[in-house]
Amino acid sequence: MNAGPNSAVQPRAIITGAGTINPVGSTVSETWAGLVAGKSGIAALDDAWTEQLPVKIAGQVTADLSEHLSTREMKRMDRCGQLALIAAREAWAQAGAPDVDPERFAVVIGSAYGGLGSTLEQDRTLAASGPRKVSPHTLTRLMVNGPAAWVSIDLGARGGARTPVSACASGAEAIVQAAEMIRSGAADVVIAGGVDASVNDLVITGFSQIRALSTRNDDPQRASRPFDGGRDGFVLAEGAAVVVLESEEHARARGAAMLGAVAGGAVTSDANDIVAADPAMQRRVMQKALESAGLAAENIGFIHAHATSTPVGDKLEGQAINAIFGADVPVTSTKGHTGHLLGGAGSLAAVVVVEALRTGLLPGTLNVQELDPEVDLNVVTEDAHRLQPGYSPAGLVNAFGFGGHSVALVITGA
């Protein structure tokens, strides 16, 4: 999505629907109400497999998925695919189930780990009970492209089913890819977003071994604390969030309600370290997203930071934001409420920005008791911040992932 001499005549990527299921809510409206009220979706894990683990908290979806899906869908899909399909159906319904040529309709849903839960489950079944007990659905459950495939099958999208796999930037990168498809004329409608369902012993142990997770087992709801001086790591979570993007021409022709627009976006690679972030590239990706949208830093009314609650990551991102936007623009991170959805984090942030533009409210950053003195930002700490009259109707979303994946999105009012 690079700005250029022809950018003015390229179709705008309009948002006409949104859907999510996450630890705070099982719909967009329920999630929004919870975020504005300062609700936490993080709780203690009571599963037997947590006994030997150093971390026993996570953000889990509490809704009964069988109330949303058929018995056949529950049997054939990994939980990752189930969450993605539920979110996609909500978004599709809000968009009015557009009448679109299937060849001009695509799906882009990213994930960090895909069906890892099924992989672990079936591996243990094989070891304990032998090959005859392994599910015939094993391979299709564990595919990282499974969520995109299931959504495309369910809704009849034949214009492509893509799966960005870029760690915690996957969902945001999916939206950039989808917007590029709209702007280039490759598709009229694209469902895009991200999902992960990896609250399991292997992932918790892996992140614990690199000391990335909070160990506040005795205080789950206060464990995730983006930008707080006492933060000690992120809280693993699961969930999905997607949006429906359409070309402006297609949306207007059918009289669709327009929720917002993806005005610009950028994807860069740090080429620096498999884990450590490069703040110079974080600055660069934000600047490239602004250029893509044809906007300046002062045109951004607020920012949804990646800010996962890690000691180093939040500080570096704060410095990168300050270098471009200064210390006055309102900044939030809703990971204090939801935990870190990994591949679903950036797309959930995009849904939050859409709702903030629609309502004029910005959810606060939960659990900031004392702002880190090394973070010189206007971090919103109340439950919900009323954006000032005359604020710039544009929000920025940051998403960063292991491997040096950096993504920034600019979302504006329609």
Residues 359 and 31: their CA atoms lie apart, in Å, by 14
Cα–Cα dist 341/182, whole Å = 26
Residue 265 phi/psi, 5-degree rounding, is -170, 160
Q: Is 340 a catalytic residue?
A: yes
Look up 80 and say whether it is catalytic.
no
Q: What is the largest CA-CA distance in the chain?
A: 65
Helix (H) or strand (E) segment spanning residue 174: helix 170-184
**Catalytic residue selected from 68, 168, 250, 304:** 168
Residue in 68, 250, 304, 306 annotated catalytic: 306
Could you tell me if 338 and 240 are in contact, meaning their C-beta atoms sit under 8 angstroms apart? no
Strands 260-269 and 239-247: unpaired
| Dist. CA 203–CA 116, nearest whole Å | 9
Rounded CA separation 292/99 (Å): 30
* 306 catalytic residue (yes or no): yes
Alpha-carbon distances, residue 63 vs 36, 56, 68, 282, 320 (angstroms): 20, 20, 9, 35, 37
Among 250, 340, 385, 405, the one annotated catalytic: 340
> Is 91 in contact with 192 (CB distance < 8 Å)?
no
Q: Which residues are known to be catalytic?
A: 168, 306, 340
